[in-house]
Structure 1
C-alpha cells in the first residue's frame, strides 16, 4: 500500500514539474490582441477589453520573461516625479527668502538710485520756483 502511494506521489510530482505552460502557442494566438494595448482599446467610440484576461496576460508575460524572451507589449513608463511633496506655505516661504537674499545684494545700488531721484526731484522743484 505504501509503495503505491509513494509511486503515485512521484508520478504526480513528475507530471507537475514536467508541465510547462504553452506560452509560445498562447503568444502566437493573442499576438495581435496584445499589441492593441495593455488593458484594452477604443474601437468605433466603444471600449473593447482584450480577449485575454489580465490574470492570463500576466501569466503569459511571466512565462515569456522566465524563458528569456523579451515582452514588448507593456506600456511605456512615464517619467519619475521630480518635484517633492510638501506644504505650499513652506515652498512659498523658501522662495520669498531666496528672493529677499537676491534683493539685499542689490540694495546699495537701489539706495543710491533712490537718493539720486530724490535729489533730481528737489532740483526740479527749486528750478520751478525761480
Structure 2
C-alpha cells in the first residue's frame, strides 16, 4: 500500500515537473521584442547594440520552443545554396575554353564560307577598280 502511494506520488510529481520543466512560453513572451530585433544585434542611432539575451540563452530558448513543436520565426532567411563548385581557376578556365572551342568548331563551316565570300567580293571590287582606272587612262 505504501509503495502504491509512493508510485502515485512520483507520477504526480513527474507530471507536474514535466509540464513545467520548460516554461518557454513565459520566456518567449518576455524576450519577444528583443528576439525580433535580429539574431546577433541591431543598429540603433549609428551604434551597434548586442541583444539583451545572450546567444546561449537564445539557443536554449529556440531549442525548447522547437522541441515543444511550436514555430520559431526569429531565424534569419537562409541564403541560396552555392551551385558553383570550388576548385582551381586554371581548371575552370580550361573547361570554359574547351566549351568555347567546341562552339566555334560547330560554326566553322559558316565562318569559312563568309570569309571566302568577303575575299571574293574584295577581289571583284579590286578588278572593277582596276578596269575603271584602265578605261580612264
Structure 1 residue aligned with 2:119: 118
Question: Separation in 2 of the partners of 1:55 and 1:106?
Answer: 62
1:48 to partner: Cα distance: 1.0
Alignment deviations for residues 76-126 of structure 1 (CA, whole Å, 9 cap, x no partner) = 111111111111121211111111111111212222222222222222222
CA distance in 2, matches of 1:72, 1:43: 22
Shift of 1:41: 0.9
Superposition deviation, residue 42 in structure 1 = 0.8
Length-normalised TM-score, structure 2: 0.76
User: What's the TM-score, normalizing by structure 1?
Assistant: 0.79
Corresponding residue for residue 47 of structure 1: 48
- Unpaired runs of 5+ in structure 2? 1-9, 132-137
- Rounded to whole Å, the distance in 1 between the matches of 2:50 and 2:95 is 48
In the aligned structure 1, how far is the partner of 2:29 from the partner of 2:130?
A: 98
Cα-to-partner distance string for 1:29-88 (whole Å, 9 max, x where unaligned): 111111111111111111111111111111111111111111111111111111111111
Aligned to 1:4: none
Distance 2:104 2:59 in 1: 58
Residues 27-106 of structure 1 mapped to structure 2, 5 A cutoff: 27-106=28-107
Runs of 4+ in 1 over 3 A off after TM superposition: none
Whole-angstrom CA distance in 1 between matches of 2:50 and 2:97: 51
Out of 51-60 and 120-129, give the one that drifted further: 120-129
Structure 1 or 2, whichever has the larger Rg, is 2
Aligned length: 117
Question: In structure 1, what is the equivalent of residue 108 of structure 2?
Answer: 107
| Cα RMSD for the two superposed structures | 2.1
SS of the residue 2:58 aligns to: helix
